[in-house]
Amino acid sequence: MPLALLNMRLQCRKAMVEPMRLLARRLALLSATILGLGCATVALADEPKVIVGKDNWLFFSQEIVGPDSVRDVDTSVDLVGRLSGLFQANGVQMVYALVPAKMRVYGEQLPDQWKMPAHMQGNYARIVAQLKSRNVNVIDINAALLQSPLRKSASPVFLKGDTRWSPLGALVAAEAIRKGIEVSPSLEAAFQSTPVQKFTLEFNKQLTTLPAGDLASKIPNAAKKAPEQSLLFNVTRSAPAEGDARVNASAKITLAGSTYSGNWTMFADALRFALQRDILALSVTEDKGPWVGLIEAYVSSNQFQTAPPRLLIWEAVEKELIAPPAFAYRDKQFVSDNTDWLLRVSAWIQRSCKPSTVKPVIAKAGLVATDPAAASDTISANGTSPADFVEIVFDPPATRLDYLTANVVASGAQAVTLEIFGANGESRRIPVSLPTDGRGQLLRAALPGGSAGYSKVRLFPGKTDKFSVSQIAVCAQPDGLVK
């Protein structure tokens, strides 16, 4: 079918697309229009980490998951399951949208001499089954993409020269998430408690040429020889009708994802249209990873602490599961002991303090030693230096199943440093971020593992113009959180 004819048909179908349940039917009609168009085959030079397939399709060799990664994948799945339980216990329903490897959706485009390994073939289904066994609300994005008529269209659901999905693939995934919410009573209840916002969607009249993808950019002149084209769309917010905003105007939906959720993929807009809700959209690059750089950064942020969502959509990529928080290749600042990560995230997620048997006692040291008038429950100073600290003694010693909370004002600082002393005298320093909560800054510090107990902690505010700490308490982590 000539491109000109395609453009004419798309122009005829430019009318506003109906929301939610009609999206699947509209996508089917669209696919019938553009089905069958293809690009000329272009010979491209191969390069390490890039698999050159048929008809200009490129694949990333690091998507391959082998049997040697089973233990790491199992660790990641276990952490996702525990995180989902934490969110649910604190009023947040989590949707886990698992994005499949590109070669899984377009396996027929792999070169004839290359086949997907047997372990890789069953990896996605195995992960989904494990997540479901842990009561995780996982969405099978792989099935949605494979079954979409758009998969073999001129605007496929993945980009040929990139590891990520196309805007149309993002649209298919968004509809799959909406359907997954509909069939889950707990997800649907949380969804219905969020305010309605009307969005309309309009497809462009013609295919758009995109910049070179992350794979094509690794091969000289690949983008010039085979430019990437995709059908784009625009999602527009319309004024809410009377009575549309219901239950709680502060309730919201958050999308936390990888580069697949970046603005250019249009996934966030696709979700806004499919759900007919506004969303808070967050995404991180691969160097930050999904654990410390995404989930921990979000739950410790002002956005989560002041207005936690009713529904959290975590978009995650299949290959990321081989790398739990402790995985060695991560940038050092985003590497964490797996259990320590879970303990820190749990402390930030808790909406109320479960009292611990450990009592915090403010020692007459540091700032308190130089200020005899300091109150026993509030310490304040007009300014602090890097050497100043507040010392809190634990009676009896605290364990990793405890976490410290306090209300902190540290003008000019976005984090404080805690020096934690073990029962045997050893110590370690850890930074703790401070999201503003309107009453000062909330501090929640989980105590790391690897010690028989913790005798005390010193809080170093650093250089500030004004400092105070109050409402110090020790809280207990949920029962059964760690093994």
Does the pLDDT value for residue 358 go beyond 50? yes
Q: How far apart are CA 413 and CA 451, in angstroms?
A: 29
Strands 137-140 and 93-99: what pairing? parallel
> Contacts from 180-187 at CB under 8 Å and sequence distance 24+?
180/95, 180/137, 180/139, 181/95, 181/275, 181/311, 184/137, 186/88, 186/93, 186/137, 187/93, 187/95, 187/137, 187/311
Tens of pLDDT, residue by residue over 114-171, are 888 899 999 999 999 999 999 999 999 999 999 999 999 999 999 999 999 999 999 9
Q: In 301-414, where do the E strands start and end? A: 311-317, 359-362, 378-381, 390-398, 402-410
pLDDT of amino acid 251: 56
pLDDT at 16 over 60: no
Block residue for tokens 């605007």? 155
Mean pLDDT of the chain: 85
Q: Indicate the CATH number for domain 359-476.
A: 2.60.120.260
433 Cβ neighbours under 8 A, 6+ residues apart = 300, 301, 414, 415
* Closest to 456 measured CA to CA, from 336, 372, 369, 358: 358
pLDDT digits (tens, 9 = 90+) for 204-222: 999 999 988 889 888 877 6
pTM, two decimal places: 0.88
For a pLDDT cut of 90, what percent of the chain falls above it?
A: 65
CA distance linking residue 57 with residue 75, whole number of Å: 32
Domain range list for the chain: 3-349, 359-476
Q: How far is CA 190 from CA 175, 194, 237, 252, 308, in A?
A: 17, 7, 22, 9, 12
pLDDT > 70: percent of the chain: 84
Digit-coded pLDDT (tens) for 393-419? 999 999 999 999 999 988 888 789 999
